[in-house]
Amino acid sequence: MKKKEIVLTGDRPTGPLHLGHYVGSLANRLELQEKYQQYVMIADVQALTDNFENPEKIRKNVLEVGLDYLAIGLDPQKTTFFIQSMIPQIAELTVLYLNLVTVSRLERNPTVKTEIKDRKFERSLPAGFLMYPVSQAADITVVQGTLVPVGEDQLPMIEQTNEIVRSFNRIYKCDVLKEAKALISNVPRLPGTDGTKMSKSAGNAIALGASPDEIKKMVMSMYTDPDHLRVEDPGKVEGNVVFTYLDLFDPDKTEVQRLKEQYRAGGLGDVKLKRRLIDLLDAFIAPIRERREQLAKDPNYVMNVLLQGTQKTLHVAEQTMYDVRKAMLLDYK
């Protein structure tokens, strides 16, 4: 029997999902759907905060992300999927919550500050991007989420959500909204093939539906040790992306340790290591790729799964808004 905790998680549909998503959160969702009531949101509105001039991209990738979810094994009988833009109560809650948070507080949010710097927004920052923590609070509370799987970099977002929840309940003398707890993954962040942060836009991510040739091309370009010029040279394991991937995807941990020792001592080439990794990643991705290809033949089925889950979520959101309006004396009759 599932626990009463409600889990909310999701992804921005800016492209197909990749191995970094799987290691960071998707595998965790497979376990969570067995234990809790889980909602998975396709955050198309959030994706538009920095893709507002390319709505066709977001529209297309809603289906692509849905395909990835189903291909990895998320079950619509156990997990409720929904499309963010089709839940108008999220927008309504966002507007109401904006009265409970200051601009200076949003600007101090460490996650927002980092994202602003990474995107070089400076003073051209879209207002929608700045208020994303408030929108995320609405995402979580509209389904009364109590558990949110996040990386450590997202902890300030959960903290801000709970600040809004506490302010609302205090001001309106109620207990309508629930605080959320962060579920931190114990899996380290998977780097991109070049050793930097994995990102579709950076071209350093291996898609969950990657073909054998695509996997080979990406692995052969992986960053290793730039000073390891000859097979007989000693090499560094630390910071070597191939070994980072082997640590995660190679089930033979004893052999990986032996390879590390040989690499450090000299006598092991990068190409041999990469060939081993290519075989491992292809074996890992192949069943996902095959399921994805089958599902892609019936896009109407995939979209219907998303729409049915969205309809189910609407009923929950309507009840949340009923309680919120009543607490705020906005329940006019």
Q: How would residue 1 be classed by pLDDT, with cut points 50, 70 and 90?
A: low
Query: What does DSSP assign to residue 197?
Result: B
Looking at residue 122, its pLDDT comes to 66
Looking at residue 207, its pLDDT comes to 93
Token representation of residue 77: 């009988």
> What order of strands is seen across the sheet that includes strand 79-83?
79-83, 37-42, 6-11, 147-150, 181-184
Amino acid type, 298: D
Give the count of alpha carbons within 13 A of 317, CB side only. 24
Burial class (CB in 10 A: 0-12, 13-18, 19+), 70: buried
pLDDT tens-place string over residues 52-96: 889 999 999 999 999 999 999 999 999 999 999 999 999 999 999
Residues 262 and 235: their CA atoms lie apart, in Å, by 9
Residues 113 and 203: their CA atoms lie apart, in Å, by 24
Looking at residue 24, its pLDDT comes to 76
* 185/59: higher pLDDT: 59
Domains in the chain: ranges and CATH: 6-191+298-327 (3.40.50.620), 212-293 (1.10.240.10)
Q: How would residue 107 be classed by pLDDT, with cut points 50, 70 and 90?
A: confident
Tally of CB atoms within 10 A around 298: 10
* 116/34: higher pLDDT: 34
Tally of CB atoms within 10 A around 99: 11
Percent helix, strand and coil across the chain, each to the nearest 5 = 60, 10, 30
pLDDT tens-place string over residues 242-280: 999 999 999 999 999 999 999 999 999 999 999 999 999
Q: Note the maximum CA span of the chain.
A: 82
pLDDT tens-place string over residues 161-174: 999 999 999 999 99
- 143 bridge partner residues: none
Looking at residue 126, its pLDDT comes to 75
